Structure 1
């Protein structure tokens, strides 16, 4: 009942109210971001949503577009400026995703939307994380964030998909607030963000499902 009829309506109402209440902060972050990033303060990227349908995710930029001599982007840790680190530590970079929620491509709570190139590398079980709309936050983000390895993270995602409840969503939101305030799990043990899932699979000798 909740998942089928209530969740999406509630998501839209919450996102609209949040945009209205946080509009002064969104305006300030847009202006400061434009100055710090020397241009467009927003980062958009294609991500797979419900049923693997591709949509454009929008966030505040946390990294520059600096490239090496060959024209390749520098590693994340070299492009993540102090301002970006602040945005990530406070999760303020995620706020523009409220517009994705209003547009109904995302939910307040759900598995986080990842990269399209990861799709062939999911196991059959892991692919069920796309049975629902992706979330601004999710169970994995409230329980380890980037310190949890990919298999454990996806296991949490699938468990969430199979057990969606209103009280469960409320608890995840509360736990997320606690994690953000404590600034926990921002980086993995070996990366400023999170290691590539494709590299993770290759290290474990796995092959994409379409091979």
Structure 2
């Protein structure tokens, strides 16, 4: 359960803070956004933005925006090649610096996302969550979150979901700003970008109990 201070912060302060911070970030980073867009267009082609449906607050689906990091290379049968092949050196740079995430600032302005919260994952994962894991959708998804500053893609799915729910239960003004500063530190040192066995992160297949039932 979210404590009373957390409910007050979430209801009256968090959204205005998101709007102010994201607007200031868009203005301040507009030259970076422009340069990255030009480089993506030059190196990877069109479209510059990668758009994908993701579940947000109360599992409401929205369209999330990111800078494209992969090519559209396909095999002889017309199927997309594995991520490890399509993820170029330039794409890896965008991900390691989190520059690919910058268009999500516009999702924050729209109200789909927050500066801090559980990361929005794939729609196809929704049926795989247990009741505990579903609680990650009790708040808006974030540009960064507690799981990201605690290991990002280098920790297990179960640990990540536990951290997401811990954030839901302890959301606060001080906590959010602590995560913001830790996020900046993580981006600078480029920690936890990839899982050990995948170019990005292994797909979530549910916990052992959910896999057996499915």
TM-score calculated relative to the size of structure 1: 0.95
Q: Does 1:69 align with 2:69?
A: no
Name structure 1 gaps, 5 residues minimum: none
Say which of 169, 175, 182 aligns to 2:176: 169
Q: Which residue number in structure 2 is paired with residue 139 of structure 1?
A: 146
Counterpart for residue 115 of structure 1? 122
Matched, 1:4 2:8: no
Q: Is the 8 A contact 2:130 2:210 kept in 1?
A: no
Deviations 1:42-99 (A, max 9, x none): 1000000000000000000111111112222111110100110110010000000000
Question: Superposed, which structure 2 residues align to 1:37-76 within 5 Å?
Answer: 37-76=44-83
Residue 5 of structure 2: aligned partner: none
Q: Contact 1:122/1:208 (CA < 8 Å) preserved in 2?
A: no
Distance 2:85 2:9 in 1: 44
Q: Any idea what SS the aligned residue of 1:20 has?
A: helix
Q: State how far apart, in whole Å, the 2-side matches of 1:205 and 1:72 are.
A: 32
Match of 2:211 among 188, 197, 207: 207
2:131 matches 1:124? yes
1:109, distance to aligned residue in structure 2 (A): 0.1
- Indicate the SS of the match to 1:30: helix
Structure 1 residue 205: Cα displacement: 5.8
Query: C-alpha separation between the residues in 2 aligned to 1:149 and 1:123?
Result: 16
Show structure 1 runs of 4+ deviating over 6 A: none
Q: What are the superposed Cα offsets for residues 90-138 of structure 1, whole Å, 9 maximum, x if unpaired?
A: 0000000000000000000000000000000001000000011000000
Alignment correspondent of 2:33: 26
Quote the residue 2:167 is aligned against. Answer: 160
Q: In the alignment, is residue 86 of structure 1 matched against residue 76 of structure 2?
A: no
Aligned pair count reads 207
Cα distance in 2 for residues equivalent to 1:205 and 1:140: 23
Query: By how many angstroms is 1:206 displaced?
Result: 2.9
